[in-house]
Amino acid sequence: MEELIAMLTERPYVVAFLVSFIVIAWAERGWQRMLFWLVSGTFLGWLMEFSSIRTGFPFGFYDYHEGIFPDELWIGGVPFFASLSFAFLTYFGYSVARTLLSRLERRGSDIQLATTPRMDGALLVLLLAALITTWADTITDPVAHLGRYWFLGDLYTYEGQGIHFDVPLSNYAGWIFSSLLIVFVNQRFGDWLRARRATPAEGFYLPFKPLWAVGSLLGNFAFMIGVMLYLLASDEVPASASVGQMLASGLALSGLFVVFAAVMIRRGLAREPEPVS
């Protein structure tokens, strides 16, 4: 229990993402789907990492430095907060994908989804969710790899050097695979609940509900860019880390996402209502 409390107190950004996830997922999908996503996403994320540090699948080989963080919660050599991040990031990727592919409706000064429940389990949503989640990771992981120079800490080391700011491409392939698996499992659980009519598809009203996950993802981008700026100004970071190039890449990827999301949201607002069958 003390290790869990230490994680929550020493890593406030984990708490911020946890609270954001609970609010958004509960509002969008109800408490049962939210809780299932939290548990399944965390477990499957842990399983992927547990496998990878031993077999190299699916992220490639890397080592966590458990001995440096004795006060935090570790399960099978994997930090618990890292497993939690799979639930957060995959859900935000899923929610953003559903928003960008759906028809959006203006209701006074508000904006809400105006699409059929079939969109929740659609294959295109699954594929775009995996792409968006991995897109976010291409900004996050190069910064996390330099954790020894900021408050994340010296968390892990890859085996060998990767070509994307020392991050191997296998890491991103692993995120695509893990995202597809987590989102697919939760889509099928949602379909099962809908067939049983055990719970409504939505939890509670939030103004601008479709845009909250978009904002959370952009907040993550802004946080990572802020860390990059800190690293760029730090005298402790070696020149070989290429933080300036990393910052340029992060800004370009973030800007590209903003443009893509803005275009898709505008299309969603202009989309005609679906015919009633």
Instruction: Examine the pLDDT at 98 and tell me if it is beyond 50.
Output: yes
Looking at residues 140-151, what average pLDDT do you find?
95
As beta bridge partners, residue 78 has: 75
Its sign, for the CA torsion 75, 66, 41, 48, is negative
Of 209, 214, 223, 230, nearest in space to 113 by CA? 209
- Cα–Cα distance, 189 to 40 (Å, whole number): 10
Environment class of residue 60 by beta-carbon count within 10 Å: exposed (0-12), middle (13-18) or buried (19+)?
buried
Q: In sequence order, what are the residues at sequence separation of 6 or more whose Cβ sits closer than 8 angstroms to the Cβ of residue 178? A: 44, 45, 48, 58, 86, 90
- Cα–Cα distance, 224 to 231 (Å, whole number): 10
For the segment 156-167, what is each residue's pLDDT rounded down to a tens digit?
999 888 899 999
For the segment 99-143, what is each residue's pLDDT rounded down to a tens digit?
999 999 999 999 999 877 788 999 999 999 999 999 999 999 999
Check residue 277 and give its pLDDT.
46
For the segment 56-94, what is each residue's pLDDT rounded down to a tens digit?
999 999 999 999 988 889 999 999 999 999 999 999 999
Instruction: Examine the pLDDT at 29 and tell me if it is beyond 70.
Output: yes
CB neighbourhood size of 110 (10 A) = 12
Mean pLDDT of all residues belonging to the chain: 92
Residues in the chain, overall count: 277
Backbone angles phi, psi at 11, to 5 degrees: -130, 75
- Yes or no: say if 179 and 133 are a contact pair by the CB < 8 Å rule: yes
As beta bridge partners, residue 157 has: 63
Of 132, 139, 131, 133, nearest in space to 249 by CA? 139
- Yes or no: say if 186 and 34 are a contact pair by the CB < 8 Å rule: no
Instruction: Examine the pLDDT at 276 and tell me if it is beyond 60.
Output: no
Q: In sequence order, what are the residues at sequence separation of 6 or more whose Cβ sits closer than 8 angstroms to the Cβ of residue 103? A: 113, 114, 115, 268, 271, 272, 273, 274
Q: Classify the phi-psi angles of 242: left when phi > 0, otherwise alpha if psi is within -120 to 50, otherwise beta.
A: left
pTM for the full predicted model: 0.94
Rounded to 5°, the CA angle 23-213-29 comes to: 50
Of 148, 161, 205, 273, nearest in space to 28 by CA? 205
Return the amino acid letter for 140. T
